[in-house]
Amino acid sequence: MRHVWIVLLALSLSTVVYGQKSAAVRQLEQQRKEALADIEETNKLLQETAQTAKTSLNRLNLLSKQILSRKKVIGFLNQELDEIEKDILNIQGQLRSLKRELGDKQTNYGKSMRGLYKRHSSQDKLLFILSAESFSQSMRRMRYLREYADWQKRQANDIMEKQAEISSKQAEMEKTRAEKRTLLGTRQEESKKLESEEASQKEEVQLLNKKQKDLRADLQKKHRQAEALNRQIEKQIAEEIARAEAEAKAARERRAREQVTEEDKTVPESKNEPIREERVADTKGGYAMTKAEKQLSDHFANNRGRLPYPVAGRHAVVATFGEQQHQELKYVRTSNSGIDIQTSPGADARAVFNGEVTRVFVVPGYNNSVIVRHGNYLTVYSNLSQVYVKAGDRVSTRQAIGRIYSDPEDGNSTILHFQLWKEKTKLDPQPWLE
C-alpha cells in the first residue's frame, strides 16, 4: 500500500509540472498571436502605402517592422516547440514509469493467483479454517482469506486503472506530437514568408537607392533651372536699375546745363529737348524712381500682409521660401527663391498689385515667366503655359496675366512659382500675402 501511495504522489507531481508547461505554451501562443496581429496591421499599411506613399522610404520602414515581427513569431514558435519537446519527454518518462509499475503489478498478481490456485482450492480453504487450534484462530484465518481476496481485487482494479492511464498518456502523447507537427509546418510557412519579405525589403532598398539617385539628378537639374531663372531676373533688375540711373544722370546733366544757361544768356536755350521728371533711388545703387513710381512703391509696402494670392480659388503652398529639408532625401537641403503654389488645372496667375510688365521670358523648367514692377518692388510669375500681357503693359490688382502650366506627366499638377524682390533683394512672399 505504501508503494502505491508513493506512485500516486509522483504522478500527481508530474501532472502539476505538465500543467505549468502547458501554461507556458499557452503564454507563448498568445504572444505569437499578438505578433501575428502586428504583422496583419503592418500588412494593411503596406497595402495602403503602395498607392499613397510618395517614396519607398515608408514602405521600407514598414517592411523592416514586418520582418522584425515575423522573426518574433518564428522565435515564439521555436520556444513553443522547445516546450512541447519537454512535454513529450516528460510524458515519455511517465509512460515508462507507468509501464514498469503495470508490469510489476501484473507479475505480482500473476504469482499470487498461481500460488493461490496451486495451494488453495475451496476445500483447502475450508480445511485451512477448520484446522485452526481455536475458534479465534479460525476467525483470524477467515479474516485473512477475506482480506487476501480483497487485496487481489484491488490489485486487479489497479492494473485496469494503470492500463487506462497508460492509454490516456499515449493519447496525450499523440496529441502533443500532432501539435508539434502542426507547429513545425507553421514555422516552415513563417520562414518562407520571412524569406519573401526579406527579398521584398532588398528590392525596396534597391528601388529606394535608384529613386534617390534619380531624385538627386532631378534636384540638380531643377537647381540649375532655378539659377537660370534667378540670373534672368537679376539681369532684368540690373538693366532696369542701369536704365533708370542713366535717366537720372541725364536729368542731372540737363539741370546743370539749364543753370549755366540762366547764368550765361549768350547761350541759346534748347527748346527741342523734352523736360523729363527727375528719378531718385531710395538706396545707393538702387532703382531710381519717379515720384509716381515712389508713390506706387510706398502703397505696395503699406499693403504688406494684405496682398491677394497670385491665384484665385482653392490653392496650397507646397514649397516655402528659403532653405529647407528635402521631403524625400534625408541629408539634402534645398533653397527656394520664392514659393510654389499648387492650384487647379486651368487656373490663371494674377497680379498681386498695380504695376507695369517689364519683361516676358522663357526659362526651361519654368516655361513662361512674367516680371511686374511696382516701384522698386518686383513680382515674378513663373511656370505659365500662356501669357496674356507683354512688356510695357500696365496691370491692375487681380488682373489675369497668364495661364498656369499643368504637367500631364505629374497628374496635371498645376503649380505657380511666385517670387518677390525689393530692388536686388529676394523677399519671402508669404508674409506679404493675405
Write out the DSSP string of 54-103.
SSSHHHHHHHHHHHHHHHHHHHHHHHHHHHHHHHHHHHHHHHHHHHHHHH
The answer to whether residue 375 scores a pLDDT higher than 70 is yes
The C-alpha atoms of residue 101 and residue 294 are separated, in whole angstroms, by 115
Going by pLDDT thresholds of 50, 70 and 90, the confidence category of residue 433 is very high
Domain assignments of the chain as residue spans, ordered by start: 2-213, 290-434
The amino acid that residue 387 corresponds to is V
pLDDT of residue 199: 72
> Which CATH code is given to the segment(s) 290-434?
2.70.70.10
**306 near 434, Cβ under 8 Å?**
yes
Interatomic CA distance for residues 16 and 268, integer angstroms = 129
Query: What residues does 371 pair with on adjacent strands?
Result: 359, 380
47, 70, 77, 83, 334 from 73: Cα distances, Å: 21, 5, 6, 15, 43
Predicted local confidence at residue 53, as pLDDT: 39
279-288, 294-303, 335-344: which has the minimum mean pLDDT? 279-288
> At which residue does the C-alpha cell 492511464 appear?
165
Question: Is residue 176's pLDDT more than 80?
Answer: no
Least confident of 32-41, 119-128, 154-163: 119-128
**Distance between CA atoms of residues 361 and 387, nearest Å:** 10
Torsion of CA 58, 61, 62, 64, to 10 degrees: 160
Maximum CA pair distance of the chain? 186
Mean pLDDT of 194-198: 72
Indicate if the alpha-carbon torsion angle 33, 34, 37, 38 is positive or negative. Answer: negative
Is residue 264 over pLDDT 70?
Answer: no
CB atoms within 10 A of CB 408: 9
Mean pLDDT (whole number) for 297-301:
96
From the centroid of its chain, how far is CA 425? 40
What is the per-residue pLDDT across 232-243, written as a single tens digit (0 to 9) for each?
888 888 888 888
